Copies of this chain bind each other. A is one copy, B any other.
Amino acid sequence: MLTYSQAANPTDRVSRDIDHVLAHGRTHYQEYLFFRSQAHGVCVALDGDIQSCESDEAIYHEALAHPALLIHPRPRKVLIMGGGEGATAREALRHDCVERVVMVDIDREFVDLCRELIPGWSAGVYDDPRLELHYEDINEYLERTGERFDVVIGDLVDVQDWDAPAGDLYSRDFYAALTGCMRDGGVFASQAGALSTVDMDNHNRIRARIAKSLPRVRSYGLVVPSFYHMWSFVLGSAAPLDCGGASLAECFDERVGGRGVGLPATGSGTLAGAFLLPRLLADALKG
């Protein structure tokens, strides 16, 4: 029996049996594993962390992309950092006001594997003329580009070892460069790992770093069943993250309708409700 397992914390573990290994190897940048699980369909892991699974990747990617896009009154230009599966771009392009999406992923080999092995994740986005794809280090891209974006979405690997190179992705310099390429009123969204009563550290570290560059931050989370966790996200902005004062629920509902966005996996109510974290978690947020 072949099993994939991942520590939830130093003493807990989630494991899933594997039906078939589609691909296992290393690109120049990371170790990848594509496998099929009976419960969750094809799952993708990078460096030992599940990135998404067929059964509910849509929940994850809708939750990652849409709150930032919906809180912004009219996002036209979107930057996606990472997002190699192509699903974050797929979600961003659902907003009919979005005119241009730039996706910057360093790992061409991984992007190609995703296009070959899980084409449903990208669902044709690479044919959409609004999408521009760069295989490049995001730090270098941020330095060289003069372009400014309404919404920036960080779909990068989870940072577990803060001393490892990947930690740079969320470094202070990185956030400084990032804010430099956001338009006025721009909104930044990042996944921020599992959120639980047991370990808030990862989330709070990401939240605190974002808060250094962007004065307004909001956390939200919702369960992604195949992750066996509430998954968390952080929004950051120089502008208020409040939909101009309306309730998030009404604002999301209205904008989803106005922009022709389908949310087949979540719904605008679910996305707004994701900001209502249980107090045991909300009280432990820092930054």
Q: Kindly state whether residue A164 has any CB partner on chain B within 8 Å.
A: no
- Which residue of the partner chain B has the closest CB to A222? B278
- Please name all residues of chain B whose beta carbon is closer than 8 Å to the beta carbon of A9 when the two chains form the complex: 39
Q: Whole-angstrom distance between the alpha carbons of A280 and B270 in the complex?
A: 11
Q: Kindly state whether residue A14 has any CB partner on chain B within 8 Å.
A: yes
Q: Kindly state whether residue A177 has any CB partner on chain B within 8 Å.
A: no
Q: Whole-angstrom distance between the alpha carbons of A53 and B254 in the complex?
A: 40
Q: Whole-angstrom distance between the alpha carbons of A122 and B40 in the complex?
A: 38
- Cβ-defined contact, B33 with A2, below 8 A: yes
Q: Whole-angstrom distance between the alpha carbons of A1 and B14 in the complex?
A: 10
- Which residue of the partner chain B has the closest CB to A58? B280
Q: Kindly state whether residue A129 has any CB partner on chain B within 8 Å.
A: no
Contact flags A220-258 to B (C-beta < 8 A → 1, else 0): 011101101110000000000000000001000000000
- Which residue of the partner chain B has the closest CB to A262? B279
Q: Whole-angstrom distance between the alpha carbons of A134 and B59 in the complex?
A: 44
- Please name all residues of chain B whose beta carbon is closer than 8 Å to the beta carbon of A21 when the two chains form the complex: 21, 24
- Cβ-defined contact, B56 with A280, below 8 A: yes
Quote the shortest CB–CB distance from A132 to chain B (angstroms).
30
Q: Kindly state whether residue A4 has any CB partner on chain B within 8 Å.
A: yes
- Please name all residues of chain B whose beta carbon is closer than 8 Å to the beta carbon of A15 when the two chains form the complex: 3, 12-15
Q: Whole-angstrom distance between the alpha carbons of A279 and B267 in the complex?
A: 6
Q: Whole-angstrom distance between the alpha carbons of A87 and B48 in the complex?
A: 34
Q: A15-B15, A265-B280, A278-B59 are in contact. Are A4 and B6 (CB under 8 A)?
A: no
Q: Which of B8, B12, B229, B263 contacts A223 (CB 8 A)?
A: B229
- Please name all residues of chain B whose beta carbon is closer than 8 Å to the beta carbon of A278 when the two chains form the complex: 59, 222, 265-267, 270
Q: Kindly state whether residue A145 has any CB partner on chain B within 8 Å.
A: no
- Please name all residues of chain B whose beta carbon is closer than 8 Å to the beta carbon of A48 when the two chains form the complex: 1
Task: Using A1-B4, A1-B5 as known contacts, list a sample of 5 further A-B pairs with CB atoms less than 8 Å apart, ordered by residue number in A.
Answer: A2-B33, A11-B37, A12-B14, A221-B223, A263-B279
Sample of 22 A–B contacts (CB below 8 Å): A1-B4, A2-B2, A3-B4, A3-B15, A10-B39, A11-B37, A12-B40, A15-B15, A21-B24, A55-B197, A59-B197, A195-B225, A196-B226, A197-B225, A197-B226, A223-B223, A223-B230, A225-B230, A228-B228, A249-B249, A265-B279, A265-B280
